[in-house]
Amino acid sequence: MFFIFLIIIIVSGHFARAIKSPPDADSIYLKKIDELFEKQEITAKEIELLYKEIHYHELVKFYENKKQNALFWPIPAKWLPDSILLDLSYNFSDYCNPIQGVITSGFGWRDGRMHKGIDIDLRKGDPVKAVADGTVRFAGKCGGWGNVVVIDHGHGIETLYAHLSKILVKQGQQVLSEQILGKGGNTGRSRGPHLHFELRYLGHPVNPLSLIKFEEAELYENKVLCMKNNRDELFIFPAHARIHLSEKGENWRKIAKSCGKNIKELYHLNGIIRPLYLKPNTFVRVE
Ligand SMILES: [Zn+2]
């Protein structure tokens, strides 16, 4: 019996793809410090940059420890640097959409409430998949989300899948991209079956459609830039995108015209589903 069991493990292990784990951040920074101080000359700027990176890395570690006690424990945005370059090639290299379907509601303010994710239409019972490799941080019932699964993808990046009719994973379980987490449904505060999908960075919700090309089910780029404005709102963009900071009196139409695009193209680039009021000091992707 034991041998049969062992053979099953070996055979199944042979076919299973291993989970890619992000490189250990501590060792990356130790290496960077070593490299810098092995140089003949170091500029004050180089030391300052390294200091900023290490400070930021400590914040990520702080979040990793704090979140054990709460579903999301956002790092206050004022503690974060104005812009952070993130490499998602480990976390999100095998990205897939959680479900193929029509997006019925986008990220952002609607009816005086902040919608922290996107809504994707589905039929009750449709399979909902993990968008990338990671570890299940939460799987269970939680408030308006109903049955919800939270996946930790490392380095402060997490995804959330809400209103499920059935959960098929357990807390602490490692999951692979495309693995079925549960079945779509209508639990919690929900009108009709749909998937509420969130992308969070250090506990802060960001617009998933500003880095995901949903129709193609892929990322714009593996490297992304996370930026905060003077209201401490976080924005996430592909690293090579051209970004404009909106000014008082500007609107989407004006910006679209000045960059030679139509308003629909500009909305699409910024992951906006329905017309949205543009506040001053909002980061807008223009290219
Ligand atoms: Zn929603």
- Cα 30 to middle of ligand 1, angstroms: 41
What does the chain come to in residues? 287
Instruction: Write out pLDDT tens, residues 70-115.
Output: 788 888 888 888 888 898 988 788 999 999 999 999 999 877 889 9
- Cα 116 to middle of ligand 1, angstroms: 7
- Cα 117 to middle of ligand 1, angstroms: 6
- Cα 181 to middle of ligand 1, angstroms: 18
- Cα 64 to middle of ligand 1, angstroms: 25
pLDDT at 7: 47
- Cα 83 to middle of ligand 1, angstroms: 27
- Cα 71 to middle of ligand 1, angstroms: 17
Neighbours of ion ligand 1 (CB under 5 A): 119, 196
pLDDT at 4: 53
Residues 116, 179: Cα–Cα separation, whole Å? 24
pLDDT at 14 over 60: no
pLDDT at 242 over 50: yes
Characterize the bridge pairing of strands 174-175 and 134-142: antiparallel
- Cα 115 to middle of ligand 1, angstroms: 6
- Cα 48 to middle of ligand 1, angstroms: 41
- Cα 208 to middle of ligand 1, angstroms: 12
Residues 243, 176: Cα–Cα separation, whole Å? 33
The answer to whether the CB of 194 falls within 8 A of the CB of 213 is no
Q: Computed from CA positions of residues 103, 117, 225, 112, in that sequence, does the dihedral angle turn out positive or negative? A: positive
* Whole-number average pLDDT of the chain: 88
> 3-12, 224-233, 242-251: lowest mean pLDDT where?
3-12
